Chain A
Amino acid sequence: MIGWIFIVVCTLSLIGISLCVVYDKRPRFLRHVTAITILCIWAAALWTLIRRFSEGLGAVAGVNDLAPWGLWIGADVFAGVALAAGGFVIAATVHIFRIERFKPILRPTVLTAFLGYVLVAVALFIDIGRPLSWWHPLVMWQGHSIMFEVTWCVVLYSTVLAIEISPVVLERLGLTRLLRLVKATTIPVVIAGVILSTMHQSSLGSLYLIVPGKLYPLWYSPLLPVFFLISAVAAGMCVVIVESFFSAKILKRGLESSLMAALGKAASFILFLYLLIKFSDLAASGAWDLLYERNLQSNMFLLEMLGGVALPAILLSFQRIRNREKFLLSASLLVMAGIVLNRINVSWIGMSVHDQLNYYPTWMEIALSLGFITAGTIIFFLAVHYLPVFPKTEEEPPEAISAGSKTGLMPA
């Protein structure tokens, strides 16, 4: 009970801090509140970690034999990977499709993706029962397992992201020769990244293809891999919008408004595509009728589809909304919430039998998840502060200069 009160207070505090940033309100105590909140979350997360490694998962998490995968898999891993999809989308846009005007946001996006994957890897390390054996799938091959493929893709794609973000560090350290080497391999590395991302984003959905009798038919579909991939692309774009917005506020730099609006438009297209395929599939599979059953599953499904997909898709299709920063931000946040809800629905609500939930997360699971989010955010801003992530455009509008070619970093 005390734990839950603690979680609610910390969450409200984080939301309050974010609102202060959004509305440019900087009360004097903001710094202190931020520091205290984050330290409290980290202390709780550390306590969770100590108990998890000494007493086992059962001591800290609500997971059980009926629900072997809990919030750390559903929200931290599934949603985390999806939210980090912006990395391969923007990298492909700039380096494969050669739409160079997106270059100014390439580095922060790849950095976000890289940090996202590092956190996902840490979450997996904590969640698997025998963390010291995490490397087994790399050596003990079992090519019939989706999990085997996902492990390989995540390890390889994290390496790809590390290579993609390495120029930031190399440039800072002035290692020009190594920098030139990395630069020469950019295009093949980006192509490898796109393939690996496509594979494992979809494969996270394929994990559930094996449970036709368990996953509620509103979510179960042979097209699960397609849904996971498409939704990740849209969500990845919206993460770029949100991340750019907060970077602009906190670092007091200009926002690449036209790029953000373009991303919003693209996300809207993809969300409409998702809706089209999703509802055609529901109609074809006969699961449509389940929408009229007013049970937990259908309510959660409608909340996800209407609030997290349809509403932002419609909002983002209006140019007037896309051009207003705060509306664009709100719609993007809706998309992010929608994808988190989708992954939780698939891994938890949909796997429960009707109104009987098979699992209840503990406050400690949420504390560790909040710990991941805050740690990721702080590492991001530390990296931005010490490394040349953003183009140096304090005075000029970002589009005016091609930041990459000016510093000789990115292949022009």
Chain B
Amino acid sequence: MNQHTPDMKGFSRRRFLQGVIGGTGLSVITPSSFAKDPGKTSFANTPSVLVDVTRCIGCRACMRACKNANELPDNTDLSEGFPISWEHQELRFDQWTVVNPSTGANANGDAVTRNIKSQCMHCLEPTCVSVCPVGALTKSELGPILYNADRCIGCRYCIMACPFDIPKYEWHSGLSPVVGKCQFCTRNRLSQGRLPACVESCPTGALKFGRRDSLLFEAKARIDSYPDRYINHIYGEKEAGGTAWLYMSDVPFENLGFKSSVETSPMPPLTWDVLSKIPIVAAAMAGLFGTLAWSLNRQEQSE
């Protein structure tokens, strides 16, 4: 295991790693087994969460629940009751979800404020899993994207490549920093048939857990029933090829600070299309240069 560095307040690294690495009962599938044949894999069953932005009151109970469930340090003002201030909160390696108010123009052009929860989107075809050189990030059999600190080398390519800028890094650790991001409570709750901590803690029903296809169905039904209330866009349905976290809103997502530059097709093929051709190119070069060197050498010797 890892070197044991001094524990942070209320946060035991060992427990953290156990949470992340443990759960050996859960087998993981490597990207090679799903990225080759994305068509064959059905994502309809993927455990997902539908976030209805219009229902979120910004109580930040999900932030607190996340910290408790994952034994992350609770060093914010969230430890007791409602937050005492509305300080802006950033995702950190030890803070896997945040809720922040965001003000933007709605369809009528009026500036309105909505509370936006952020966490890992759990892409169906995850960029981070495809770029990780050591398989420290994997897509679990259930669907969520998990991180294994024991494999990680700290290259931070996942942070650089993530289309949603989600993974965060422990910048102030000398030799054993970790990458932190939402694990969808896979090992500590989902695998035991319990809801993710944030969903369970939500008092308003802004978060709804379920199969991806039924959540998409429900979201579309809500939009159809209240076409004046919702915009006709489910963020995460197509972004980065589809994500397990789905958002619906009454304000256009780009006005609320959602990334609008995210491609709608899956990202991993961008590099795989190049990478998969390397063996052929290498073999061709070996043949070409081998023949060239050999024939020029013979020519010289015969002269």
Chain A residues close to B by CB (< 8 Å):
52-59, 63-66, 68-69, 92, 95-98, 128-134, 136-137, 140-149, 151, 187-188, 190-191, 194-195, 198-199, 206-207, 209-214, 225, 351
Residues of chain A within 8 A of B151, CB atoms compared = 133, 136, 140
Known interface pairs A140-B151, A144-B31. Does A191 touch B275 (Cβ–Cβ under 8 Å)?
Answer: no
A186 to chain B, nearest CB (A): 10
* Interface residue total, chain B, C-beta cutoff 8 A: 58
B264-285: CB near A (< 8 Å → 1, else 0) gives: 0001101110110010011001
Q: Give the residue of B134, B263, B275, B300 whose beta carbon is less than 8 angstroms from that of A136.
A: B134
A128, closest chain B residue (CB): B154
Known interface pairs A68-B156, A209-B270. Does A198 touch B285 (Cβ–Cβ under 8 Å)?
Answer: yes
A144 touches B261 (CB 8 A): no
Task: Say whether chain A's binding surface is mostly helix, strand, loop, or mixed.
Answer: helix
Provide a sorted-by-A list of 24 A–B residue pairs whose CB atoms are within 8 angstroms.
A54-B174, A56-B170, A57-B177, A97-B292, A129-B155, A129-B170, A129-B173, A130-B177, A133-B151, A142-B134, A147-B131, A149-B275, A187-B293, A187-B294, A195-B285, A195-B286, A198-B281, A207-B271, A209-B271, A210-B130, A210-B267, A211-B161, A213-B262, A214-B261
A151 touches B270 (CB 8 A): no
A56 touches B292 (CB 8 A): no
A187 touches B135 (CB 8 A): no
A53 to B161, CA, bound (A): 25
A8 to B137, CA, bound (A): 42
B165 CB-CB contact with A under 8 Å: yes
B152 CB-CB contact with A under 8 Å: yes
Chain B residues close to A by CB (< 8 Å):
30-32, 35, 91, 127, 130-135, 151-157, 159-161, 163, 165, 168-177, 259, 261-263, 267-268, 270-272, 274-275, 278, 281-282, 285-286, 289-290, 292-294, 296-297, 300
Known interface pairs A69-B156, A146-B271, A147-B133. Does A210 touch B172 (Cβ–Cβ under 8 Å)?
Answer: no
B35, closest chain A residue (CB): A144
B168 touches A142 (CB 8 A): no
Residues of chain B within 8 A of A56, CB atoms compared = 170-174, 177
Q: Give the residue of B31, B132, B290 whose beta carbon is less than 8 angstroms from that of A191.
A: B290
Known: A130-B177, A210-B268. 16 other contacts (CB 8 A): A58-B171, A58-B172, A63-B171, A65-B91, A68-B156, A96-B292, A130-B153, A134-B153, A136-B151, A136-B153, A137-B134, A146-B131, A147-B157, A195-B286, A211-B160, A212-B263
